[in-house]
């Protein structure tokens, strides 16, 4: 599913125009992005949690040359599904 598909599903479900649906979805994504960028976690009940984690520097190597290098510290986002969603995906009731 793409963002455009999501716009259309929102439009079908709400009766809004395509433009209004797109603005609504974009606004939700914008809020989610800014929350994660600030380092805060995002929990959506019945769906799952987006968690920002800090990764430390680590040693690595270039697979083409074999040269050793240091992979810089960075933040990553992980997602863990809620139990409700996990059960729905696996058809457990």
pLDDT mean over 19-33: 96
Burial state string for 34-59 with b = 16 or more CB within 10 A and e = fewer than 16: eebeeeeebeeeeebebebeeeeeee
Name the fold adopted by 40-93.
HU Protein; Chain A (4.10.520)
pLDDT mean over 1-28: 94
Residue found by looking up tokens 């709400």 in the block: 14
Query: Both tokens of residue 13?
Result: 């479900």
Domain boundaries, the chain: 1-38, 40-93
In the chain, the percentage of residues whose pLDDT exceeds 90 is: 97
pLDDT at 92 over 80: no
Chain-centroid distance, C-alpha 48:
10
pLDDT at 25 over 60: yes
**Alpha carbon distance 10, 27 (integer Å):** 13
């Amino acid at each position: 599913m793409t963002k455009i598909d999501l716009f259309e599903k929102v439009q079908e479900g709400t009766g809004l125009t395509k433009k209004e649906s797109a603005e609504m979805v974009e606004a939700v994504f914008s809020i989610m992005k800014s929350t994660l960028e600030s380092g805060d976690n995002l929990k959506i009940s019945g769906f799952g949690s987006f968690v920002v984690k800090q990764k430390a520097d680590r040693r690595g190597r270039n697979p083409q040359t074999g040269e050793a290098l240091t992979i810089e510290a960075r933040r990553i986002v992980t997602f863990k599904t809620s139990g409700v969603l996990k059960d729905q995906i696996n058809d457990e009731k």
